[in-house]
Structure 1
Amino acid sequence: MAVIWGLDLKEMRWGKFKGSYMFNRAYHLRTTKMIVYQAAMIFCVISESVGTAMLSDYVDQQDGISTRSQGKAQVQNDDIVGIASFNILVGIAVAVIFGSAFFFDLFWPERQETKTVRLWWKIAAVTVSIMTLADALALTVIVATHSAYIVGVPHEYAQILFENNGKPNAIYRKNAMSVTSSVLLWLGVVATFSSTYIMWKSHQHDDEFGPWSAKYKENENPQS
């Protein structure tokens, strides 16, 4: 089997996805890493998925109302469209960084990495965590305080257009998908910062003592 960047590809086996291996106590912080890395990916990707559906609805709202008014009315909802687009980027970034960390630790927990590689892991983790926090703050503010509105026609006609168009609700906080995406993203924020902290602590331990847990070493070398 090929070896790429010092990683033996034969270690990529389905059997390593078993809970007995994935959550074993042989490696330092292994169980914690497997949990928080997956939590970061799951919460952010689900938030992204819900947000994508929301994004599609608000883009359709622009097209639908413009068509119904024969181009006279223009829906102004670019704030929610923009932050939902950024949320997609954040979801992808979190999945790439912590997804990679998950698979690397799952398949090659004893791998050797240079200081430069370790530094880039840390920089990437901090960067996506800050991106996730910024995304959550912006999305929360927009959902909680903003709403779509129409320009180009009288207010009364604008309200009729919103009503005839149906979903999504012009008031973002009354849209279940907007709220759900925000809540899931905040859970993702907690998970990404937790993942970053655990990654740093794990690297610190590995650099000083190696990847093995203290309990495993005690079992391997019992006191006589």
Structure 2
Amino acid sequence: MAVIWGLDLRDMKWGKFKSSYMFGNKDYHLRRTKFVVYQIAMIFCVVSESVGTAALSDYVDQQERIESLHSSASVHNDDFVGIASYNIFVGIAVATIFGAAFFFDLFFPERYEPPRIRWAWKISAVVVTIMTLADALALTVIVATGNAWVSADTEDARMIAEEKLNPPLVYRHNARAIASVVFLWLGLCGTIAR
């Protein structure tokens, strides 16, 4: 097998995914804690991203539907669309950084890392944590206080007001938006802990 960057690829084995290896092995300092925290950060941020993407898709579909049925209507939901898009970016960034750390610690726990690489890991973790904090604060404020609104001429406005809109225009009434916020805060706890 090959050796890449000083890492012997023979160490990559399916057996290392067993819980007895990940959590039962006490050979390395804080090994179990690291794996739990990595998984909390990755899983909750990715779940927040996924649920937020579903809510984003609902609002984009709603906008297209209303604007196609009512010629004078414009749906204004850019605040949620923007923060949900940023939430997708943050979820991918967390999964990339902490996922890579998870696999390196799982397969190559005894690897040697030069000081520059250790600094790169630390800087990446701090940057991703700051991004996640900014995302959590902005998403919380937008979902808690924001709402989409529709501008239209009088006749279209009356017709739109009679429709039962799904998702609701008030973001805090959307269960998916609320769930995205909750999971993001849990993921933020994992990123801060790591």
Regarding TM over 0.5, the answer is yes
**TM-score scaled by length of structure 1:** 0.83
SS in 1 for 2:52: helix
- 1:72-95: per-residue Cα shift (whole Å, max 9, x none)? 100000100000000000000000
Asked whether the equivalents of residues 52 and 88 of structure 1 are also in contact (C-alpha less than 8 Å), the reply is yes
Asked whether the equivalents of residues 145 and 173 of structure 1 are also in contact (C-alpha less than 8 Å), the reply is yes
What RMSD over aligned residues (CA atoms) do the two structures have, in Å?
Answer: 1.3
Q: Distance in 2 between matches of 1:183 and 1:96?
A: 21
* Number of positions where the alignment pairs a residue of Structure 1 with one of Structure 2: 193
Return closer, same or farther for 1:162/1:181 CA change in 2, 3 Å cut-off.
farther
Shift of 1:124: 0.2
Asked whether the equivalents of residues 75 and 149 of structure 2 are also in contact (C-alpha less than 8 Å), the reply is yes
Segments of 5+ residues of structure 2 without an aligned counterpart are none
SS in 2 for 1:26: coil
- Amino acid in structure 1 at the alignment position of 2:102: F
Correspondence for 2:2: 2
Return closer, same or farther for 1:193/1:29 CA change in 2, 3 Å cut-off.
same
Correspondence for 1:25: 26
Q: Distance in 1 between matches of 2:70 and 2:41?
A: 43
Asked whether the equivalents of residues 73 and 156 of structure 2 are also in contact (C-alpha less than 8 Å), the reply is no
- State the percentage of identical aligned residues: 63
Segments of 5+ residues of structure 1 without an aligned counterpart are 196-224
- Amino acid in structure 2 at the alignment position of 1:77: N
Query: 4+ residue stretches of structure 1 with deviation over 6 A?
Result: none
Larger C-alpha radius of gyration, 1 or 2?
1
SS in 1 for 2:192: helix
- Amino acid in structure 2 at the alignment position of 1:84: A
**TM-score scaled by length of structure 2:** 0.96
